[in-house]
Structure 1
């Protein structure tokens, strides 16, 4: 090789080394940033969750407040980017998967009538109240309808965690809440699709709405009708697997059904809950629950912290927004509480009240609905801030009230 070619080759090699080094350095810096962020999330969740539990407050409330503390609104240590949103989604999936594992389908079927009534009334009443509130503010029909849709949303993950902490997931009122949450998700997401289409200027025929609803209902029925007999058929083979292999099978089933539920137009947490219910039929014979619980114990707190990260407290600085947001919160609580009490009245006044309170938290579901409305221009910044305050208050206060009422009104035999 002549000197000129050798010089060019050396320069090219040096450029490649420097470029690779720069790319690796940038990648390492990004990884380090994510790891530091995860460190703050896990640390804040552990500290404030433990502190909340010690003073008699649900751990989830401490974890949501932890997210607000370390998020952009206050200390700005962590921002809710794609990484944390994805991790939070996984946390919600494993939380509902674990809840499903603690729920037998026959127990849920026994409260089907009450669950259906709670879900339908818990959608109709908040929707009507929110729509009326929007019209009272002078909003257009579509914008007012979207406010009503935001009030329809229910974050069952928050309530489920409180019920799990207290060990009452097998209580009858808890089964009604979980059953209503599945129906609520089916009807609520169908309603959201309709309102979003109206906001985008598209028309949605009754046939399209019916098909969307039928697909969601059909998916739930198919998973339960096929899944339960299938796991019972392979029960003997699964019981011979080692703990790690049985755990792998359980996770594949949980994630697979969660993914398929999105194809049917449902939230992945509903698919995870259904998968858990299917596997609950054989959990006494096949050991995998302890390992699933270990993952859920790590990821679920991340989910609640990220709910707090997404709350923009700075948007709530205007007095008019605060007043309107408080009114909206009262309507949001009244709609779900009344729907739960009326729908579950056959359980007795005390347990029906618990059902109503269990349906109140809006959490990340309310945030998603509000963000969607703002993004497509259905609602403006002011209405978005009002909905944000409603989400914050129902998310933080509902678990507190639920736990207090549960300890005071439900007999000890139900709580243990």
Structure 2
């Protein structure tokens, strides 16, 4: 009789149960993640009605692979450049949510009489929302094109990085059982060091490798290579003491910056779905129904804390960041759940055996309940805002609107800010590269040379020399590279600015470079006389080969920047940034003119779009041509991408006339267009004149889209309206033209 390994029969049982349950969940329009968990509960060892798995250890290995691929695909969707672009509003909102939920989770655990470790892990579980559940709910409710959705997506991007940081900190805390702030700080610095190192090395090497081998790769080969790179980074992360999930996430974020990033994400999706299903089924297997019933009180309490705490913290963070009250409430309602990262954090506690048995099923139960409630919370968020607006005093509403308006201002970047930003960036990047070279030299190169050369002095000279040769371009960049020459020159020649800080900053670079050089040499050469001789030789060689070292660094930097920006450069005409007009619900959205649209062939004057729908057309993109602030005689043609500004209701009425059969396009804006505000003061030349006579359209190609006057908001004002003192005027314009126009006004 043929023997069937338990792994195969267990895998068949898992996938069979998952497939059957998810078909039911698709039918009743519920998240598949929840279906997987219920399938795991049914085939687990705690319920005997159905066949159960027989080899738990193998399933745990499959589940760990599932976590790796889940984090890998999250990294592909993440991208560090996306994190840099989410802006202050998303960062402030996410920070407020995470801090408040960490505190609430810890406090709730202590209130229930739990241990400190259980309480800390509960805080981590509650602090991160579910990207999968939110995106699914947005798609089902068709709200992805609404204003608040962009803020939600930005918060989720920041939360992804926070979740990775939490995994590292909780792992450190669990293994050391020590609450020492120093150890936590070291863990954070270690994480930051390796994140920077892996990102720099990955961007320098991987896009170049993929570019060189592009002609040799079909879809199958690209999939295999991508998974191989993922697993290599998993091994590296494990080697330096981090979790495999972190390595998978980092490699995903590196590949996300490549030209093939979207294709890799598409290819890996099926693999992720398979192993992700196994992971979520294994989550369900660990649920003990008896323990869940026993802890039903804590489940309901923590569910309430999750929904109420996230609603409060997220809404408050959004308000502080300058968002409107409506957008803040909608954002808070959207993020009131926990999901896949919470499972991973809970699994970490179980794996490390530092949390109690009841915490895991409680976390899963809370996630299940909040998963069900999320679509309803999003659907009724606008209604909750209406109730809040009705109950709050009118004075409070006015103050909130004024705060939201003043939070969005035109800021000028000083020369000091520009120079210091680049200075710190240069110090950090070069230091990370130099330290990593020193580590590789001492750990790998030195033992290799010692095994092949018997003379100890020659070994020391060779090792130190090779290390300095590798580090030379980065040492030069640290000490002698010119940083922001224009800003530095302006500061140096500015009579009102002291040159002392500039001199001190330059001296610090030199001292730091000497410190690193001496640090490398003394690792291998202890004799003080030989050490002095070596430093003199280094100084002489540096003066002779400075230009070559500089050229070498420039080539390294050029390749890195080319790899980093290649994806954006190829999609430059599609790269858009969406702004918000605060505190209004108005925003920019792009619509594509369908061939069947009744607007095709008609000019804007005859269409009367502003009069009929209350919206403004800010831009038309036709092929490679961009028409900013189109005139009244401009016509619409099939395939035109029209950027319009209005409220959600106004845009919803307009959309059926422009896009008849195509799906909604994302909320985005051309990089060349921006929304800014101008405050009319007593000395402004605009005071007392009309929009038409101001010459904004002719001089700055600017379009006035809103005026706030005495607490009243006037969206898309008539061109005959006069500007009055203390008016807040919102305009759409190219950023450079806008700044020049403001300078002329002043």
TM tier relative to shorter chain: 0.7 to 0.9
Q: What displacement does 1:240 show?
A: 1.5
Partner of 1:41: 14
How do 1:7-406 residues align onto structure 2 when only pairs under 5 Å count?
Answer: 29=3, 32-74=5-47, 75=50, 77-78=52-53, 81-111=56-86, 113-114=88-89, 116-118=91-93, 120-138=95-113, 143-144=115-116, 146-153=118-125, 159-160=131-132, 163=135, 171-187=150-166, 189-191=168-170, 193-194=172-173, 197-198=176-177, 203=178, 205-243=180-218, 244-284=220-260, 287-318=263-294, 321-345=295-319, 346=321, 348-350=327-329, 352-353=331-332, 356-357=335-336, 359=338, 363-368=342-347, 370-371=349-350, 375-376=353-354, 379=356, 384-385=357-358, 387-406=359-378
Shift of 1:42: 0.6
More displaced 10-residue stretch of structure 1: 49-58 or 241-250: 241-250
Which position in structure 2 is the counterpart of 1:16? Answer: none
Separation in 1, partners of 2:348, 2:211: 44
Structure 1 residues 281 and 395: CA distance shift in structure 2, 3 A:
same
Segments of structure 2 that go 5 or more residues without pairing to the other structure are: 383-647, 653-663, 668-746
Deviates more, 1:245-254 or 1:233-242: 233-242
Give the TM-score normalised by the residue count of structure 1. 0.75
Following TM superposition, by how much is the alpha carbon of 1:406 offset from its aligned partner in structure 2, in angstroms? 4.8
Distance 1:165 1:251 in 2: 29
Q: For residues 391-411 of structure 1, what are the alpha-carbon distances to aligned partners after superposition, in whole Å with 9 as ceiling and x for unaligned?
A: 122221233333444567697
Q: Distance in 2 between matches of 1:160 and 1:55?
A: 18
Say if 1:182 and 1:62 are closer, same or farther in 2 by CA, change over 3 A: same
Task: Report how far residue 264 of structure 1 moved.
Answer: 5.0
1:356–1:64 Cα change, 3 Å: same
Change (3 A) 1:388 1:277: closer
Shift of 1:281: 2.6
CA 1:359–1:301 in 2, change beyond 3 Å: closer, same or farther? same
Q: Which has the higher helix share?
A: 1
Pair 1:354–1:259, CA change in 2 (3 A): farther
How many Å separate the matches in 2 of 1:145 and 1:245? 45
SS in 2 for 1:209: helix
Compared CA separation, residues 101 and 388, structure 1 to 2 (3 A): closer
In structure 1, the residue matched to 2:704 is none
Q: Deviations over 1:52-91 (max 9, x none)?
A: 1221111111111111111122235126722111212222
The Cα shift of 1:37 comes to 1.0
Q: What secondary structure does 1:269 align onto?
A: helix
Alpha-carbon distance between aligned partners in 2 of 1:94 and 1:206, rounded to the nearest angstrom: 32
The aligned length equals 373
Question: How many Å separate the matches in 2 of 1:287 and 1:132?
Answer: 44
The structure number with the bigger radius of gyration is 2
- Structure 1 residue 211, shift from structure 2 partner: 1.2
Residue 171 (structure 1) shift: 4.9
More RCO (CA 8 Å, sep 6+): 1
- Judged with a 3 Å threshold, the aligned counterparts in structure 2 of structure 1 residues 227 and 310 are, in CA distance, closer, same or farther, namely same
Could you tell me the TM-score, scaled by structure 2's length?
0.44
Question: 3-state SS of the aligned residue for 2:30?
Answer: coil
Q: Which runs of 5+ in 1 are unaligned?
A: 1-24
**Whole-angstrom distance in 1 between the partners of 2:215 and 2:129:** 33
Equivalent-residue separation in structure 2 for 1:86 and 1:165 (angstroms):
31
Q: Which residue of 1 aligns with 2:681?
A: none
